[in-house]
Amino acid sequence: MPFFVSGCFDFVLDIAIHPRYALLSHHIMKYSSLAALASLVLFSSCTSPTGSSSGHDYWGHRPGPRGFTTVILDAGHGGKDSGATSRWTGQREKDLTLDMVKRIKSELAGSFHTVLMRDSDEFIELDDRVLRANRQGNAVLVSVHFNSGPQQVRGPETYYWRVDSHGLASRLQAAMENVSPAERANREKVRRRLRLTRNPEIPCVLVECGYLSHASEAQLVSNSDYRQKMASALAEAIRTQAAVGDAGTGPLPQPINAPPSRASDAPE
Ligand SMILES: [Zn+2]
């Protein structure tokens, strides 16, 4: 299936690596070598390539975290940026993401220190979200979105870039698939360099909890019981990652030294 433009404009023209796009990946790997060289020149003087006691790591070329104590929950969009709006239910992505992070926070209560990137209908620039995430130590970031695309496409999708985010991404995607009745007509788990998957110095994953553009999925998402099930499953995935790290999530992906994602890369 070709790439399509997401209605919430998170991913347009960005770089993705997915098994279905093996040929594309080959070219990306060539690009990555050049990018690695450039990145080292640009950033080696001001950042540490290794981790620190706070859990911060510029590249994230290490196994996924275990024993983290803080979970940053980022409700996508907000304020003047509504994200996608469902033509079927009229629901706006920014409202649904805020609803979801509050549910996940409740599910995690008592297990973690949780930080909501926003707890109201507030616009926050993506780069500011990265800066806020980097203030937290021993933490992971989960950014919550809903998707939009061609009407027949449905199902949850998960985006990650860093090696240390692969295990958590796998768990979050599996958790959503367990709740969603969707056919596999989507991209599932995708390695993609976005500002919220590449730029934070902590493990970071972006989840798309379903397609607001799909008639029956939009109806499902409008049901609060369904959203609660999805939130509960996502929280359980986070707890499992903290308990056992990457165990059981398969081989780690190759490290890629790509530069930070910039606003000029793509409309987000
Ligand atoms: Zn979005």
CA of 193 to the centre of ligand 1 (A): 15
pLDDT single digits (tens) 203-220: 999 999 999 999 999 999
Least confident piece of the model among 51-65, 82-96, 146-160, 232-246: 51-65
pLDDT bracket for residue 50 (50, 70, 90): very low
CA of 258 to the centre of ligand 1 (A): 23
pLDDT bracket for residue 3 (50, 70, 90): very low
Residue 176 to residue 186: CA distance in whole angstroms? 13
What does pTM read for this prediction? 0.82
Residue 237 to residue 231: CA distance in whole angstroms? 10
CA of 253 to the centre of ligand 1 (A): 25
CA of 147 to the centre of ligand 1 (A): 6
SS3 134: helix
Query: Which residues have CB under 8 Å from 96's CB, separation 6+?
Result: 146, 209, 212, 221, 227
CA of 209 to the centre of ligand 1 (A): 10
Name the burial class of residue 255, with classes exposed (0-12), middle (13-18) and buried (19+) by CB atoms within 10 angstroms of its CB: middle
CA of 152 to the centre of ligand 1 (A): 19
CA of 43 to the centre of ligand 1 (A): 29
Both tokens of 154, joined, read 């449905």
CA of 92 to the centre of ligand 1 (A): 10
Please report the domains of the chain, with CATH numbers, ordered by start residue. Answer: 56-244 (3.40.630.40)
pLDDT bracket for residue 263 (50, 70, 90): confident
Say what angle helices 93-108 and 224-244 make with each other, to 10 degrees.
50
Instruction: Tell me what the mean pLDDT of segment 238-261 comes to.
Output: 94
Q: In the structure, how many helices (H) and strands (E) does the chain have?
A: 7, 7
CA of 49 to the centre of ligand 1 (A): 30
pLDDT single digits (tens) 67-115: 999 999 999 999 999 999 999 999 999 999 999 999 999 999 999 999 9
CA of 174 to the centre of ligand 1 (A): 20
CA of 145 to the centre of ligand 1 (A): 4
CA of 121 to the centre of ligand 1 (A): 14
